Structures are given as C-alpha cells and as structure tokens.
Amino acid sequence: MSLREHSHRHDIEGFDLLEELALDLIWCWNRSADKIWAELDKDLWLLTRNPWVILQTVSKEKLEKTLADPAFLKIIKDLLALSKKKNEAPAWFQIKHANSPLTCLAYFSMEFMLSEALPIYSGGLGNVAGDQLKAANDLGVPVVGIGLLYSQGYFRQMIDNDGNQHALYPFNSPEQLPIVPLRTKNGEWLHVELAFPGWSVRLRIWEVKIGRITLYLLDSNDASNVPVQRGITSELYGGDSELRLKQEIVLGIGGWKLLEALNIKPEVCHLNEGHAAFAILERARAFMIDNQVSFDEALAATRAGNLFTTHTAVAAGFDRFSRFLIEEYLGKYAKQALGIELDDLMALGRVNPNDDWFNMACLALRGSHAVNGVSKLHGEVSRCIFEPFFPRWPADEVPVGYVTNGIHTSSWDSEMADDLWTEFCGKERWLGEMEEIEKDFRKVSDKRLWDMRNAGRKEMIENGRGRLVRILQARGAPEEEIADAKKLYDFNTLTLGFARRFATYKRPNMLLHDPERLLRILMNPDRPVQLVLSGKAHPADGGGQAMIKQWMQFIRRPGVRRHVAFIPDYDMLITVRLVKGVDLWINTPRRPWEACGTSGMKVLVNGGVNLSELDGWWAEAYCPEVGWALGDGQEHGNDPAWDAKEANDLYDLLEQEIVPAFYNRNQEGIPTAWLAKVRESMARLTPTYSANRAVREYTENYYLHGAESYRKRAANQGEIGKQIAAWQKALKKHWDQLQFMEQKIETRDGKHQFTYSIYLDGLDPESVKVQLYANGLNGNSFFLQDLERDSKQREHIYLYRTSVPASRPATDFTARIIPYFPDVHVPLAASQILWQK
C-alpha cells in the first residue's frame, strides 16, 4: 500500500477511530473489540491477533462497507468512550494513595511481552514486564515503560522433518506493528543521540499505548546510522558480548536520556533485571548537572529511587563485560560525563577488587536502594548468590527481599472462564484489593466448572489442529502426518501440557525417562491421556535442541501422533491458547534453578491444575488441595539417580492419582474429586498469583518508600545525598582502624551485662551502630540488639553497654560494628562490618 492510498483511507468516516482503537494494546485483553477485527478479516485475525496489520491490509471497499453500518460505527465509538472514561477515572492507586510522593515510575526491561502483535519478547522476563505494565494500567500506578524495538526480535523456530530446530529471523516491519513514531510538537520524529567510540548513534523513539500507560521503545535502525549501528537493536539475546553491551547502553543510558528529553522526572526507576543498570549512571549524571554535585553525591541521592529486581538463579547468568569493552565504550563517558576514572567505574561493577570483569548485577546492586527476587525461594537463592558482595555478613542479612511474580489474569483467561469469574466475582474483580474473590468463587457448582473446562479444552484442540496443519504443510511434511494432525486429540481426554524454553535445567524430557511406561499411560484404552508440547531452545543451546529432537523422534513412533504433538514456534499466541484448555500443566525444573516460573500461573484462571517441582512459585503455593508436587523441597544438583527417582514419581502420580481423579465420575458424569482441586486452585491461587497482587506489593513495599526517600535526598540540591556521600567517604577512610579494645561480661539477676570499649579512629560515633548478635542455630531464635553508647572514655574511644536475658550462654553472643545513617539500607549502601574477635 502506498502512503497516498493510506492517506485516502482517512477520508472514510470512522477510520480514524479504528486507528485509535487498533493502536491501544488494552484491547489485546479486553475482548470487546474482537468482533470488530474479525468482521474486517476473520482469517487474518485468527492467525495474527494483530488489529494494526488488519487495518494495513483490508481493502478500502471493505472498510467503507463495514464502517457505513451505523451499528458497527456505534460499537467503535462506545468502546473508545469507555476507554477514555476508564483512563480518566481514579483507580486503586489514586484512591488508596491519593497523596503519594510517587508521581512517576520508569520501568526498564530488555523485553516486554504485551501482545503477539508486538514480538519484542523471548519468554519469562518479558512476560513479567508486560503483565506488570498491564496491571499498573488496571490499578492506576503511574508508570512509563522503557525498552528496545528489535528489527528481528527473538528467533522464530522451525522444526524440520528430522526433528532438528532451525532459527529464523523475519523482519519486524514497524508499519505492521501497533506502534507510532514519537514526535515533537512541531511534528519532527524525536531522536536521542548516544556517543559511541569514534561515532554517535541516532536512536529513533516509538510509542506504544496500553490504556493509561505508555511504553517507549528505542531503535537504532535509523537511516542516518551506518549499518553496524543500525544493527544494534536487531536481535533480542543474539550476537556477541559486544553487541549485548551496546544494547544495554542504549537501553540504560539512552532510555534515561529519553526521559530527560521528554521532561519526565520519575522518582523511582525499576530495573527489571540487570540489563538496564546503566540507567543508574545516566540518572546520576543528570542529577549532577541539575544540582552541581559530584558523581558520588549524585549517586547517593538518586539510588534511593532505584529498585533492582533479579530473575537469575545462578551467578553465571548475570551479564559480564571485559574491562577492555567497558573502557572502549564507557571510558570517555566515565571521565567526561561522570567525572570519575575508569577504575572508579569498574569498582561499581566488580564483585572482588581485583576482577577484570564488569558485572551488571553488581552495578544494579550498588546503585539501588532495594533488591528483590521473584519468589520466596528465589529470594533465599539470591541471598546466597549475592553473599560474596557482602563479605562477613550473615547470609540471612544479605539485603535481598522478594515479590513473587504474578500474571495479568485478564490477558490469559478464556472467554468461558471470564464469564464464570464475572458472574460470581464481578467485572471489576482484578482492579482492586480482591479480598472477597476466594470466598465468592467457591460458590461455583461442579457442573458449571466442568462445562467451562470442556469448552476450553475443545477450543484449544481446534486451534492446535489448525496451527499444526499449517506448520506441517509449510515444511512439506508427509500427507499421513498432516492427516493425523487434522484429527489430533480427543475433546474429552485428559490433556497434559508442557510448554516453555527447552533448557537442560528445566528437564523437559523427564517424561521420556521410560518411554514404554509413558506409552502405556498415554494409550490406555479405558483412560487415555494426551500431551501437548511446545518450546524453543536457544540457538546456542545444543542440549536443549537435542531434547526437542528426542521428543520429535518419540512422536514418530506408531500410534503416538494421535496422543502427542509438538507445536513449533512457541510464542504468546500459542501460550494463550494452550493455557485455556490444558487440564494439567507439568513443570519439572531442577530445584532451585527456576526463579519463579509463571507459565503454571496462567492455567489457574482457566481451571487448569499444576503438577510441578517444588521450585519457584510452586514451592510457596503448593498444598494437596490445589494440585500435585514433585520433589522433597531439597536441592540434589545434577544427580542422575535423583532425576530417575523423580521421573518414576511423576509416572506414579499420573497412574495412581491424576488419571483416576480425572476419569472417576459421579452419576452425572462429573469428576468431583478433580473439580475439587480445580475449584480450590482457582479460588485460592488465582488472586494470589496475579500481577494485580504483585504490582500492589511492589507499590506498597518498594515504590512509595523509594519515592519518599528519593525526594528527601534530592531536596535542597541533594543536601542529604551530599551528607551520605561524605559519610561513605569517612567510613572508607577510618574503617580499617576500628577496634574492640576491651570487653566485660557479667551475669547477675538473670541477665548478661555486656560492656565494650571501642576505638573509632575519629569516626563520628553517630555514623555507626554497635550491636549484640546471636545466630538462630540449635533451636534458638536469631537475636540482634543495639548497644547504647554510655560515655567517651578518651580520645576516639567510646563505651557501649547492653543487657540481655541469661536464657542462653553468654558465649553465644558476639558484638559487631556496622555503618549507620538514617534511611540508608545497610549493608546495601555500606557493606563494612567489624566483628569482635
């Protein structure tokens, strides 16, 4: 279509309204607009779920005819009016936190999974980012998103007739994505300039609308850039270490420069993983200029508003860059923009003082006011991972909290499930506190639940057949295989689902441990089982690709194709359709490598039940009433014997509990025991593991406090930030000279009396705390109590005292000195600690 043809479409009454509707991703989960796009091109809508593509391809005649219908035009106008009303109405945040110090939060992420129409995501990280933006819209939390527009995105998967995975990189044509160029008031396309070694990169900016939320995407594919520059934002998680560094500079430094260009001044910056940690540097640089302070003072002030969320379960998973690359790309930036030396910059990204590697998680840690993992177990794992950053601190005091992920329920529920939830819990159920949902949903009858589950399974199977047939035809599969795909699955058979990234730690081939036993389970004539699989292995992961091939070989065994299918090119559209109909969602990671694992959360809203390893979110969610569990809640490493045991446990659960529960029916043909788990899982777990709960938790536990702390530190040209920087400098100067000089311990009247003389070497005594510590071993409780400063004995020596109940031996207690400054998180901002010897 020429630009002239497109402009002529604006002469059609109602076309501008259709454009407005198509460019707001709120309609990717609000089904009210689905009938509009299906009316314009039903086949293309089913294939792409991309309204913007439909508007680009539908004929002018079809548009004129459809929009000439007053009833059709009224639907569009009513939907836009409803959207405007919702965007302007106060939501949870405006009502609950009307006088909040938080006016804007910048959410940085390498990927966002918002819709299949915008393929700039890989998997779990993007899923979390997209769902949290959607929930922020629902709740009215004032967020702007910052990401990258990838011209190719994550690879698309093709499986050949021999079961081998091939990676394809189709071009993401911007005119077919629901995005628009971000323009200045005079109509010029807004650009951001970044200085790279020897040249500068011109970044185009695109705008994505999600209700009341805006996501800005940076893109290096500008005509003014040379080819190597244009390719910076080409692939997601592709290329070498140098390309990844350039992408992360674009995201972090370029992203914050964009906020400055738009005069957006967020109090809080949320880093969704360490990829965006360079935003910490650019935020501090902007503060330096605005307030005429040093980098250390600016960082002390701005870090109060930075939150770092880690999704990584192993230390090797963090991005690291060589000193050579950091010097090449950021050496001049450090010297000229930040006013610091290369070694000072490297120190922010070093785990150990002698490291020649710059660790992005380390920068995120050292530049943030708070750090969190994404499940309770992952919080514990992360404290172990980050323990080397805080030498001599007890592991349970490593400053990492947790907020368990949740999914945006309205994006993942089926139409049938939505109707059921609406009837019993109301249309606004996911927009507020959700206190009554669990009680209200338990009123749903077995028959209503069973009807919903059967309808969801049938729709999933029909969609799966259609997609698989198209894929098999495209790769030239044998006619017999295509014919089997057209008859794939039975609408009334227990359906298991396994769909996620194929990586060895996820153990996607656990079900293939004993192929003959699996065959007996699947092909039981009285109680058959069917299995749907999907997932990609990273192009560099040969082990993951081998596991896909093993499944493809199994599927080719006689009779198996009717019971098992692998749907290639796992993406959001496949996921949406699978989670609507799968009865049992299986997850088999090697504990504790699954940070959270949101795939199993998506089936909750639709009445699917989970069978999962006690890892990630399932470790805190599981109880026998809501599903089934694998493992003993302990770590066993890569032990093949343990893998074999768990595989046999999986078969046992299927044979002895799961399959019988599904097929044992009452007189009305309803599996009451199965539906008891369905009801309890839906009622108890869906609200808890929703993005609604997660975003409210982030807001009330992190965002509000971060905004208030940042405002305090930034006031009066960063006065408190200057004081903190001076405090940190004094600690660094004096800490090595601090000493415990004398100690006295007396026990009388049922109490231990502790007295210590401590040499502070000229350090202000208000800059430290002296504490009495006892661990929680041998059945005792953890103990920590501040000592009172009694008097100054002589130059730089102070007396500290306290008393504790003599219920434990005095030898259990140890004194320590730690840094202290009001509202500063220790050891995050100052990791020194001195123990009494």
- Tens digits of residue pLDDT in 233-286: 999 998 899 999 999 999 999 999 999 999 999 999 999 999 999 999 999 999
CA dist 197 and 189 (Å) reads 25
CA dist 359 and 349 (Å) reads 5
Convert the pLDDT of each residue in 116-140 to its tens digit: 999 999 988 999 999 999 999 999 9
State how far the alpha carbon of 551 is from the alpha carbons of 511, 534, 732, 768, 794, in Å: 10, 10, 57, 60, 76
Kindly provide the residue ranges of all beta strands, DSSP E only, lying in 170-212, ordered along the sequence: 180-181, 191-196, 199-210
Residue with tokens 């959700």: 434
Q: How many CA atoms within 13 Å lie on the side-chain side of 470?
A: 10
Query: For residue 1, what pLDDT is reported?
Result: 38
Residues 6+ apart with CB under 8 A from 716: none
Q: Provide the mean pLDDT of the chain.
A: 94
Convert the pLDDT of each residue in 374-418 to its tens digit: 999 999 999 999 999 999 999 999 999 999 999 999 999 999 999
Task: Take residue 177 and report the two structure tokens written for it.
Answer: 């994505």
Helix (H, G, I), strand (E, B) or coil at 2: coil
Helix (H) or strand (E) holding 138: helix 124-139
Task: Take residue 276 and report the two structure tokens written for it.
Answer: 């965006």
Over residues 221-229, mean pLDDT: 93
Residue with tokens 């870090």: 303
From the list 373, 266, 281, the residue with the least C-alpha distance to 326 is 281
Task: Take residue 266 and report the two structure tokens written for it.
Answer: 């967020």
In the chain, the domains with their CATH numbers are 3-88 (no CATH), 103-159+166-405+699-714 (3.40.50.2000), 437-689 (3.40.50.2000), 738-835 (2.60.40.10)
Check whether 301 has a pLDDT greater than 80: yes
Q: Are 488 and 533 in contact (CB under 8 A)?
A: no
Is residue 8 very low, low, confident or very high in pLDDT (cuts 50, 70, 90)? Answer: low
CA dist 610 and 607 (Å) reads 10
Q: Are 46 and 470 in contact (CB under 8 A)?
A: no
| 171: exposed, middle or buried (Cβ count in 10 Å: 0-12, 13-18, 19+) | exposed
Helix (H, G, I), strand (E, B) or coil at 454: helix
Q: CA-based Rg of the chain, rounded to a whole angstrom?
A: 29
| Beta partners for residue 785, in sequence order | 772
Query: For residue 791, what pLDDT is reported?
Result: 79
Kindly provide the residue ranges of all beta strands, DSSP E only, lying in 86-223, ordered along the sequence: 105-109, 143-148, 156-159, 165-168, 180-181, 191-196, 199-210, 213-219
Convert the pLDDT of each residue in 778-821 to its tens digit: 777 889 999 999 877 788 999 999 999 999 999 999 999 999 99
Task: Take residue 60 and report the two structure tokens written for it.
Answer: 């002018």
Residue type for position 445: S
Cis (ω within 30 of 0) for the bond into 827? yes
Q: Are 796 and 779 in contact (CB under 8 A)?
A: no
Check whether 198 has a pLDDT greater than 70: yes
Query: For residue 558, what pLDDT is reported?
Result: 87
Query: For residue 514, what pLDDT is reported?
Result: 97
Cα 381–Cα 382–Cα 385 angle in degrees, nearest 5 = 95
Q: Between these two residues, 481 and 242, which has the higher pLDDT value?
A: 242
Task: Take residue 128 and report the two structure tokens written for it.
Answer: 């979390």
Convert the pLDDT of each residue in 691-739 to its tens digit: 999 999 999 999 999 999 999 999 999 999 999 999 999 999 999 999 9
From the list 453, 510, 492, 494, the residue with the least C-alpha distance to 681 is 453
Q: Between these two residues, 9 and 380, which has the higher pLDDT value?
A: 380
Check whether 777 has a pLDDT greater than 80: no
Over residues 211-235, mean pLDDT: 95
Selection from 102-111, 465-474, 591-600 with the highest mean pLDDT: 102-111
Check whether 3 has a pLDDT greater than 60: no
Residue 692: phi and psi, rounded to 5, are: -55, -50
Q: Are 144 and 279 in contact (CB under 8 A)?
A: no
Task: Take residue 671 and report the two structure tokens written for it.
Answer: 């599996």
Check whether 9 has a pLDDT greater than 80: no
Check whether 7 has a pLDDT greater than 70: no
Over residues 565-592, mean pLDDT: 94
Query: For residue 2, what pLDDT is reported?
Result: 36
pTM above 0.75, yes or no: yes
Nearest-10 crossing angle of helices 704-734, 295-302: 140
Convert the pLDDT of each residue in 545-576 to its tens digit: 999 999 999 999 988 988 999 999 999 999 99
Over residues 487-510, mean pLDDT: 94
Check whether 6 has a pLDDT greater than 60: no
